[in-house]
Amino acid sequence: MTAANAIRSDIDIHELCCTADLVAWSGVVALHQGHQIALFYLPQGHDRQGEAEIFALDNHDPFSGANVIGRGIIGDKGGEPVVASPIYKQHFRLRDGVCLEDPEQRLTVWPVRLEGDMVVLETPAPDHPTR
Ligand code: FES
Protein backbone atom coordinates (compact mmCIF):
# COMPACT_ATOMS: atom_id res chain seq x y z
CA MET A 1 0.00 0.00 0.00
CA THR A 2 1.06 3.56 -0.42
CA ALA A 3 -1.28 5.34 1.97
CA ALA A 4 0.39 6.95 4.95
CA ASN A 5 -1.91 8.80 7.30
CA ALA A 6 -0.23 11.20 9.68
CA ILE A 7 -1.98 11.12 13.07
CA ARG A 8 0.90 12.56 15.07
CA SER A 9 3.23 14.95 13.32
CA ASP A 10 6.29 12.88 14.20
CA ILE A 11 4.91 9.48 13.20
CA ASP A 12 3.64 8.11 9.91
CA ILE A 13 1.04 5.38 10.07
CA HIS A 14 1.16 2.87 7.21
CA GLU A 15 -1.61 0.37 6.63
CA LEU A 16 0.23 -2.85 5.81
CA CYS A 17 -2.70 -5.21 5.31
CA CYS A 18 -6.06 -6.24 6.74
CA THR A 19 -6.32 -8.58 9.69
CA ALA A 20 -8.23 -10.89 7.32
CA ASP A 21 -4.95 -11.33 5.42
CA LEU A 22 -3.25 -12.76 8.53
CA VAL A 23 -2.99 -16.48 9.22
CA ALA A 24 -3.41 -17.49 12.87
CA TRP A 25 -0.28 -18.98 14.49
CA SER A 26 1.60 -18.52 11.25
CA GLY A 27 3.30 -15.96 9.04
CA VAL A 28 2.38 -13.88 6.02
CA VAL A 29 4.63 -11.43 4.19
CA ALA A 30 3.78 -7.79 3.49
CA LEU A 31 5.75 -5.44 1.26
CA HIS A 32 6.56 -1.99 2.59
CA GLN A 33 8.70 0.41 0.54
CA GLY A 34 10.70 -2.46 -0.91
CA HIS A 35 11.10 -4.29 2.41
CA GLN A 36 9.61 -7.73 2.85
CA ILE A 37 8.10 -7.86 6.34
CA ALA A 38 7.04 -11.18 7.86
CA LEU A 39 3.94 -10.77 10.05
CA PHE A 40 3.19 -13.37 12.73
CA TYR A 41 -0.26 -13.40 14.27
CA LEU A 42 -0.95 -14.98 17.65
CA PRO A 43 -4.72 -14.54 18.09
CA GLN A 44 -4.80 -15.32 21.82
CA GLY A 45 -1.30 -14.11 22.58
CA HIS A 46 1.82 -16.14 23.14
CA ASP A 47 0.37 -18.03 26.13
CA ARG A 48 -2.88 -18.65 24.23
CA GLN A 49 -4.82 -17.07 27.09
CA GLY A 50 -4.57 -13.38 26.43
CA GLU A 51 -4.98 -10.65 23.87
CA ALA A 52 -4.01 -11.04 20.25
CA GLU A 53 -0.39 -10.25 19.48
CA ILE A 54 1.30 -9.44 16.22
CA PHE A 55 5.01 -9.41 15.49
CA ALA A 56 6.83 -8.17 12.41
CA LEU A 57 10.36 -9.21 11.42
CA ASP A 58 12.46 -8.97 8.31
CA ASN A 59 11.58 -11.78 5.92
CA HIS A 60 15.23 -12.15 4.93
CA ASP A 61 17.06 -15.05 6.59
CA PRO A 62 20.70 -13.98 7.22
CA PHE A 63 21.91 -17.58 7.34
CA SER A 64 20.51 -18.87 4.06
CA GLY A 65 20.23 -15.52 2.29
CA ALA A 66 16.68 -16.44 1.27
CA ASN A 67 13.48 -14.49 1.91
CA VAL A 68 11.77 -17.24 3.90
CA ILE A 69 11.26 -16.17 7.53
CA GLY A 70 7.53 -15.65 6.95
CA ARG A 71 7.24 -19.35 6.12
CA GLY A 72 8.87 -20.38 9.40
CA ILE A 73 7.13 -22.29 12.16
CA ILE A 74 6.13 -20.41 15.32
CA GLY A 75 7.18 -22.01 18.58
CA ASP A 76 8.27 -21.36 22.14
CA LYS A 77 11.79 -21.30 23.54
CA GLY A 78 12.21 -20.56 27.24
CA GLY A 79 8.78 -18.97 27.43
CA GLU A 80 9.43 -16.64 24.52
CA PRO A 81 7.68 -16.83 21.16
CA VAL A 82 10.09 -17.65 18.34
CA VAL A 83 10.07 -18.45 14.66
CA ALA A 84 12.27 -21.19 13.22
CA SER A 85 13.86 -20.50 9.86
CA PRO A 86 12.53 -23.08 7.37
CA ILE A 87 16.02 -23.56 5.89
CA TYR A 88 18.57 -24.18 8.66
CA LYS A 89 16.12 -24.04 11.60
CA GLN A 90 17.71 -21.26 13.60
CA HIS A 91 15.25 -19.71 16.05
CA PHE A 92 14.57 -15.97 16.11
CA ARG A 93 12.74 -14.34 19.02
CA LEU A 94 9.62 -12.63 17.76
CA ARG A 95 9.92 -9.76 20.26
CA ASP A 96 13.41 -8.58 19.34
CA GLY A 97 14.55 -10.64 16.34
CA VAL A 98 17.58 -12.08 18.15
CA CYS A 99 18.82 -15.47 16.93
CA LEU A 100 19.00 -17.88 19.88
CA GLU A 101 21.75 -19.99 18.34
CA ASP A 102 23.86 -16.98 17.30
CA PRO A 103 22.89 -13.82 19.25
CA GLU A 104 25.14 -11.68 17.05
CA GLN A 105 22.53 -12.15 14.35
CA ARG A 106 19.21 -10.47 14.68
CA LEU A 107 16.36 -9.68 12.36
CA THR A 108 15.04 -6.14 12.18
CA VAL A 109 11.81 -5.84 14.16
CA TRP A 110 9.16 -3.52 12.75
CA PRO A 111 6.77 -1.56 15.02
CA VAL A 112 3.39 -2.93 14.04
CA ARG A 113 0.10 -3.16 15.86
CA LEU A 114 -3.46 -4.16 15.26
CA GLU A 115 -5.86 -1.27 14.81
CA GLY A 116 -9.43 -2.29 14.14
CA ASP A 117 -9.29 -4.62 11.18
CA MET A 118 -5.97 -3.25 9.94
CA VAL A 119 -2.34 -4.03 10.63
CA VAL A 120 -0.49 -0.74 10.90
CA LEU A 121 3.18 0.11 10.89
CA GLU A 122 4.47 3.24 12.61
CA THR A 123 7.57 4.91 11.26
CA PRO A 124 9.22 8.23 12.08
CA ALA A 125 7.95 11.01 9.87
CA PRO A 126 10.55 12.13 7.30
CA ASP A 127 11.13 15.42 9.11
CA HIS A 128 11.70 13.58 12.42
CA PRO A 129 14.31 11.07 11.27
CA THR A 130 15.83 10.37 14.68
CA ARG A 131 12.66 9.29 16.45
S1 FES B 1 4.28 3.19 1.91
FE2 FES B 1 2.86 1.62 1.56
S3 FES B 1 1.96 1.42 3.51
FE4 FES B 1 3.49 2.86 3.88
Q: What is the pLDDT along the chain (131 residues), one digit of tens a residue?
A: 445 554 567 889 999 999 999 999 999 999 999 999 999 999 999 888 999 999 999 999 999 999 999 999 999 999 999 999 999 999 999 999 999 999 999 999 999 999 999 999 998 887 655 54
Residue 62 domain boundaries: 17-124
Does residue 129 lie within any of the structural domains?
no
Does residue 84 lie within any of the structural domains?
yes
* Number of structural domains the chain divides into: 1
Does residue 27 lie within any of the structural domains?
yes
Dist CA 91 CA 111 (whole Å):
20
Cα-to-centroid distance, 123 and ligand 1 (Å): 10
Does residue 2 lie within any of the structural domains?
no
Does residue 36 lie within any of the structural domains?
yes
Does residue 62 lie within any of the structural domains?
yes
Q: Is 94 exposed, middle or buried (0-12, 13-18, 19+ CB in 10 A)?
A: buried
Does residue 110 lie within any of the structural domains?
yes
Cα-to-centroid distance, 3 and ligand 1 (Å): 5
> Residue 69: phi, psi to the nearest 5?
-60, -35
Q: Identify the pLDDT of residue 7.
A: 53
Does residue 8 lie within any of the structural domains?
no
Cα-to-centroid distance, 38 and ligand 1 (Å): 15
For residue 32, give the ligand 1 atom closest to its CA.
2
- Looking at the DSSP bridge assignments, the partners of residue 123 are 12
CATH number of the domain at 113, please: 2.102.10.10
Contact indicator for 85, 63 with CB cutoff of 8 Å: yes
Contacts of residue 103, defined as CB under 8 A and 6 or more positions apart, other chains included, come to none
First CA to last CA distance, the chain: 23
**How many angstroms separate the Cα of 51 from the Cα of each of 16, 43, 47, 101?**
20, 7, 9, 29
